[in-house]
Amino acid sequence: MKEITKNIRNLGFDNWFQSNTDSQLIENHRIARVITVHKNSYIISKGIGDVFAELAGKMLYSADSSVLLPTVGDWVAAEFFDDDSHAIIHNLLPRKTLLKRKTSGKNVDFQLIAANIDTAFIIQSLDENFNLRRLERYLVMINESSITPIVLLSKADLLSTPKIEEKINSILALMPEVKVIPFSNDNGVNIDKIKNLLLPGKTYCLLGSSGVGKTTLLNSVMGNSLLVTNPVREKDSKGRHTTTTRQLIQLKEGGIMIDSPGMRELGNIAVETGIDETFSEIISLSNQCKFSDCTHVNETGCAIQNAIKKGTLSTNRFQNYLAMNKESSFNEMSYYEKRQKDKQFGKHIKSVLKNKKRNP
């Protein structure tokens, strides 16, 4: 079977996929993996180079559930054209695992998070983001799909060792069998330990709230910053780099990693974890803003910005609050906001292709 090249194996196509896939499909098509999804267009890879792809009409119109459409990490059978400059996806190959969640809308449908993940890293940072109930939800979702979970606690540089121990023990008291590793992108603690967990041909994904350091970890693990990141602006959270698209990345050492945006992955986290309670002083400040629809960025009479100026509210805490809110509202983006993101996708494709060239 000449189609199963070393490149495809390196991208994770192991014996399981080979024996579970109709051999006719492998004979008649090219096998490729989904790197990025955007509505009905895709970037796929055969292990060298990335190719823009679309679904064959038959596949698009016969899929009566989102579960039948390819997601990041999926293997597909495709037809490549014009020197591999674009491709048409004809079939979705069997999945080893699937991470999904129920959508919040009226219809019982699923939002696919990623497919064919071997190990999921759930990341929480050791500051305000740390939350046992949210952690539990992630673990439930991951355990439902026979994926191995590993909990990574980021920003260990911000907390004393006894405080970190305390948090780890609180996790182990609830979930004694889960592996928990504290680490820091800032001082490098346990980065090598995480690197050593990544095995060639295995697929990993990074899950967790916005701002916990998923993309920074990916960059730490890769050793050089291949993903575009913008420096954080002190005054507001506007200059923050934030991941907007799930993306599969092949690591030089052989592992495969999926970075994802920190979004509301699991139910209504805002309500159920009590953002308002956690940040009650910010909520009561926001009630004192001059305008009821104040965005707390640069409006006159903004009680939050005034408190930051006076030094009674720390920028850091306000940014944590914004990150939590973003997480809970990502899925409630209006149609207009989603269209704005579409425009960014063109730029995103270019950056993906550029990254791949630099790291073939």
Ligand X SMILES: Nc1nc2c(ncn2[C@@H]2O[C@H](COP(=O)(O)OP(=O)(O)OP(=O)(O)O)[C@@H](O)[C@H]2O)c(=O)[nH]1
* Residues contributing to the site for Zn ion (CB under 5 A): 289, 294, 296, 302, 304
CA atoms of 318 and 310, how far apart (whole Å): 14
Nearer to ligand X, 288 or 316 (CB): 316
Residue 216 engages ligand X in binding (rule: CB under 6 A): yes
CA atoms of 114 and 74, how far apart (whole Å): 8
Instruction: Give the helix/strand (H/E) hosting 329.
Output: helix 315-329
Query: What residues have CB less than 8 Å from 83, skipping those under 6 apart?
Result: none
Nearer to ligand X, 55 or 259 (CB): 259
Binding residues for ligand X restricted to 59-88, rule: CB under 6 A: none
Segment contacting ligand X by CB under 6 A, of 4-12, 85-93, 204-212, 341-349: 204-212
Interface with ligand X: number of residues (CB under 6 A):
20
Among 36, 243, 245, 328, binds ligand X (CB under 6 A): 243
**How far apart, in Å, are the Cα atoms of 352 and each of 219, 234, 243?**
14, 28, 13
CB of 211 to Mg ion, least distance (A): 8
Residue 352 engages ligand X in binding (rule: CB under 6 A): no
Copy the structure tokens of residue 5. Answer: 């090249």
CA atoms of 117 and 256, how far apart (whole Å): 9
CA atoms of 72 and 33, how far apart (whole Å): 8
Beta bridge partners of 250: 256
Segment contacting ligand X by CB under 6 A, of 78-86, 144-152, 160-168, 239-247: 239-247
Residue 283: closest CA among 302, 304, 298, 261: 304
Among 45, 71, 97, 243, binds Mg ion (CB under 5 A): 243
Segment contacting Mg ion by CB under 5 A, of 111-119, 243-251, 294-302, 303-311: 243-251
Number of residues that make up the chain:
360
Interface with Mg ion: number of residues (CB under 5 A):
3
Nearer to Zn ion, 298 or 359 (CB): 298
Segment contacting ligand X by CB under 6 A, of 28-36, 57-65, 238-246, 277-285: 238-246
Q: Give yes or no for a contact between 72 and 258, defined as CB atoms under 8 angstroms apart.
A: yes
CB of 299 to Zn ion, least distance (A): 6
CB atoms within 10 A of CB 350: 10
Q: List residues near ligand X by CB under 6 A.
A: 154-155, 157-158, 184-186, 210-216, 232, 241-243, 261-262
Q: List residues near Mg ion by CB under 5 A.
A: 214-215, 243
